[in-house]
Structure formats: C-alpha cells, structure tokens
Amino acid sequence: MRLTLRRLREPDGRALLLYRVEVTGELAAAAEAAGSGAAAAGSVPSGPGGSSAGARAHG
Amino acid sequence: MGELRWHPLLGQWVVVAAHRQERTYKPPTEFCPLCPTRDPAHPTEIPDDDWDIAVFENRFPSFVADPPPPEVAGTALSPVAPAQGVCEVVVYSPDHRRTLAEQSVAHIRKLVEVWAHRYEELSRRPFVRYVMIFENRGEAVGVTLHHPHGQIYAFPFIPPIPQQELARAREHHRRTGRCLLCDVLEQEAPAAAGGVASPVDGRGERVVVENDDFVVFVPFFARFPYETMVLPRRHVSSILELSGRERWSLASALKGILTRYDGLFGFHLPYMMVMHQAPTDRPAEGYPECHFHIEFLPIQRAPTKLKYLAGSESGAGTFITDATPEEMARQLRRAARERGQDPAGEGDGGEGGR
C-alpha cells in the first residue's frame, strides 16, 4: 500500500489534499477479485494475507 | 465564525456556527462542488480528477484552526471559547453517483488508509483532543450534497458520547481487568473452534457479517433501527494500530454491511456512520480501555417510516426501539439474499451461509 499525497490550497486558502493510494502487486489483484465478487454477490472476503477463504456472512 | 458555549446543565459544549445556514444546499448534479472541475469557468472544490480520495477543509466549518475570539461574552455559568478545531470533507471518489456501498473492497481499503493518515496527521495538532471520522448519508439524515462523501471533525475537546463510553470502559477495566468491548465481543460472537461464532445454538444470533479480523453485529442494546457495530477481534485503540491485513478485513466488513443496508429495503439506507477511537490528547497512561470500533446508526425503521429522535430520545436521552435487535439482525442477514446476492456466494451449506 503506497500513499501519494498532493497538498494544494483552495483559492480562499483552505487545505486540499488529493490522495492516490496504490494497492501493490498481487494484493491489488486479489483485492480486485475480492471486490468484484463482493459487488456481485454481497460477499465480504478477508483481505489478502488472511488465512481463511474470506468472510463468513451469516445468512 | 461562531464559538463554543458551555451548557451548564449537561456539562458539555454547544457549537454556535450560524454561518453554516448559508452552506450549499442540494445543488443539481451539474453544479456539484465535490465533482472534479470540468469547466474552468465554473471551478469546484477539486481542480482535477487525478486522485482516488480527496480531502479538503470544509468551506462552512463548525471549527477552524485559527478561530476569531468569541463574538459574545460568556457568563459565570456559561463560559464561551473559540471554536478551534478542524472540519474536513472526505470525497470518496470522483464519481458523483457511486456510494461507499458500491465501491470495491479495494477502494474502501484505500479509504481506510486515508482515514488512518488523517487521524494521524490531525492528532498531531496541539489543540486537537478527539478526531471523529464519520459519514452522514441520505437527505433524511440532513445531507445537503449528494456526491458520496464523509467528514472528519477534529474537536478541541472529547465529545460527550465518546467521553461517556470511555468512562464506562475505564470503570469496567478497573473492576474486571478486562476491556469492555472485548467482553461485548465475547457476548456477541464468542470464539468457537476456528474462531467462528455459532448462531445455531443461539450464540452470535445478532451477528450479520464476520471475517477473520472483524465482526459486524446488531448490539444486544441497539438504540437505532438496524444499528450495527463493526468491531475488530483484536484489541486496538485506534485505526493506526490495525495491521495491513486487518485494514483489508475492515474494508471487507464495511462492504458487507453496506451491501446489506442497501439490500434491506431496496434503496440507499440513510445512516450515520461514526468511528470511535482513542482521543488524541496523549495522556501518560494512554487509553488502554479504548477499543476501536465503527457504529452505523440508521434512521429508517421501515421502507416508508423514519425513526425520529423525539421526546423520550431527545428530552430524556432514553431510546425506544420498534423492533428487537435479534429480528433486525435476521432481516439484515436476509437482505443480500432477497436481492439475489447470496452472502459469500456459498449458499446455506457453506461456511458463509449460516
């Protein structure tokens, strides 16, 4: 996970922070797969590195 | 800019912010101030779309870092103080329509990272004692800008509800030597073989979603309709202490409960989402009693009925609920399936199908 931050100012001086967060390598692939599955099925897999097959969504 | 006025009966601050009456109110999509600027002749708050998540200081804040002196004099009973703090808006993505529930787990994971960064950075301000990350969603909750976004208030004091929670947790810790929310977790989702709660024998019957690191449940003592608590299994006091894996699991758990909220009645459920974690004033003894958690406080009690905080709730501080937490949890567990979204995609026979 790599976080890149651009610090800007609004015309009236207020802070504006623009974040890019890079989900690196295989974690990204795993997360996207998990995310698309969750979007379709409502499932909630654990994150990469988790030891199980994912969330246990009671139903 | 307003000020803080002390409420002598309740012993808490009231924030007077009359300028907020003028804040942008439900603009049409083409004039959304949270969308990236598309026509330089009509700039929005955000000049481009080269970002995942944007954060900016609220144009109509309740607190500012460098406030003017109070416009009124206080009294012996009700002192006043400058409204010093920070109010930030967290824009979840450049997409005007995609709600948090509709974001991928990976994008919510990014948001978790930004939340952690904001908590860390704001906590370094010497006048900040409590950082509250939250989202108000839906017009019924009072949202005035439809572009999906959350907020962060960096308070110059510990607000009453976190303060009360911490006091109760401290008392429990002193009396038992244990963390109050760890004990609540054991009550709601006792660890069985493999760390899996078993609703079969009645335990875990209010659990809606769980994974290796988080449990989402309707508390036994829920006050709001379909209220849930998102609780890490490991005792951590702030989002900063979550490991990389736990942050993924948090994103996943959030996706799970948000999906069910939107499936419950077939529309975006209005809710308040509030993150509770350790105050940032760093006393020497720390906050060992504090257990990081997120509360979802919906206000929709039926497809066409809202829960109002009326006489008993607002006047007496006593909540009256219209359904049992057990029934609310059952409905939330069913919500995804009834929308054709089998939780975990495993059917009733699978691990995820309980």
Return the number of other C-beta atoms located less than 10 Å from residue A24's C-beta: 8
The 8-class DSSP code of residue B350 comes to S
pLDDT confidence of residue A27: 63
In eight-state DSSP terms, residue B311 is I
Q: Check CB contact of A25 with chain B, cutoff 8 Å.
A: no
| C-alpha A5 chain-centroid distance | 16
Rounded Cα gap, residues B342 and B128, in angstroms: 44
| Contact yes or no for B209 and A44 at CB 8 A | yes
Which member of B107, B252, B353 has the closest CB to residue A47? B252
Q: What percent of chain B has pLDDT over 70?
A: 90
The ipTM estimated for the assembled molecules is: 0.90
Provide the total of helices (H) and of strands (E) in chain B, helices listed first: 5, 14
Q: What is the pLDDT of residue B19?
A: 74
Q: Do A42 and B46 touch (CB under 8 A)?
A: no
pLDDT at residue B337, rounded to an integer: 58
Q: Do B245 and A54 touch (CB under 8 A)?
A: no
State which residue of chain A sits closest to B247, comparing Cα positions: A47
pLDDT, residue B344, reads: 38
- Is B96 noted as a catalytic residue in this protein? no
pLDDT confidence bin for A55, thresholds 50/70/90? very low
Asked if the Cβ–Cβ distance from A58 to B204 is below 8 Å, we say yes
Q: What is the pLDDT of residue B24?
A: 74
Mean pLDDT in residue range B78-102: 97
Record: contact B212-A50, CB cut-off 8 A: yes
Confidence grade of residue B28 (pLDDT, cut at 50, 70, 90): confident
Task: Please provide the average confidence, as pLDDT, over all residues in chain B.
Answer: 90
Mutate to test the interface with A, among B42, B100, B105, B212 (most CBs of A within 10 A): B105
Contact status, residue B59 vs residue B45, Cβ threshold 8 Å: yes
Closest A-chain CA to B118: A17
**How do residues B209-250 score in pLDDT, each as one tens digit?**
999 999 999 999 999 999 999 999 999 999 999 999 999 999
Catalytic-role residue among B147, B149, B276, B293: B149
CB contact under 8 A, B252 and A1: no
pLDDT in tens, B161-198: 999 999 999 999 999 999 999 999 999 998 653 445 45
B346 half-sphere exposure, CB direction, 13 A CA radius: 17
Q: How far is B345 from chain A (nearest CA, A)?
A: 6
The 8 Å CB, 24+ separation contacts for B285-288 are: B286/B237, B287/B166, B287/B237, B288/B173, B288/B179, B288/B237
For residue A11, what is the nearest residue in chain B, using CA coordinates? B45
- Quick check: A38 and B102 CB within 8 A? no
Q: Which chain B residues are Cβ-neighbours of A46 within 8 angstroms?
A: 211-213, 245, 248-249, 252
> Does A47 contact chain B (CB < 8 Å)?
yes
SS3 B109: helix
Contact flag A58-B52 (C-beta cutoff 8 Å) = no
For the whole model, what pTM was predicted?
A: 0.88
A9 at B interface, C-beta within 8 A: no
**How far is residue B319 from each of residues B252, B274, B278, B309, B316, measured CA to CA in Å?**
30, 18, 26, 8, 8
- Residue A59: the pLDDT is 42
Cα separation, B252 vs B275, in Å, equals 16
| Arithmetic mean of pLDDT, B285-312 | 95
Which tens digits make up the pLDDT trace of A2-51? Answer: 899 999 999 999 999 999 999 875 465 555 545 443 333 233 444 443 33
Task: Say what the pLDDT of residue A25 is.
Answer: 57
Do B278 and B179 contact (CB within 8 A), yes or no? no
Residues of A in contact with B343 (CB under 8 A): 41-44, 57-59
Query: What is the reported pLDDT for B131?
Result: 98
Q: Average pLDDT in the B256-283 region?
A: 95
Q: What is the pLDDT of residue A47?
A: 43
Q: Count the Cβ atoms, other than its own, within 10 Å of residue B303.
A: 9
Contact of B32 with B24, CB cutoff 8 Å: no
Overall average pLDDT of the B128-140 stretch: 96
CB contact B267 to A (< 8 Å): no
Note whether B80 and B74 are within 8 A (CB).
yes
Give contacts of A31 with chain B, Cβ < 8 Å.
Answer: 104-106, 109, 248
On whether the CB atoms of residues B270 and B235 are closer than 8 A, the answer is no
Chain A hits for B352, Cβ within 8 Å: 43, 54-59
Of A5, A31, A56, the CB nearest to B344: A56
Q: What is the pLDDT of residues B301-352, one digit of tens each?
A: 999 999 999 999 999 999 999 999 999 999 999 997 555 554 433 333 222 3
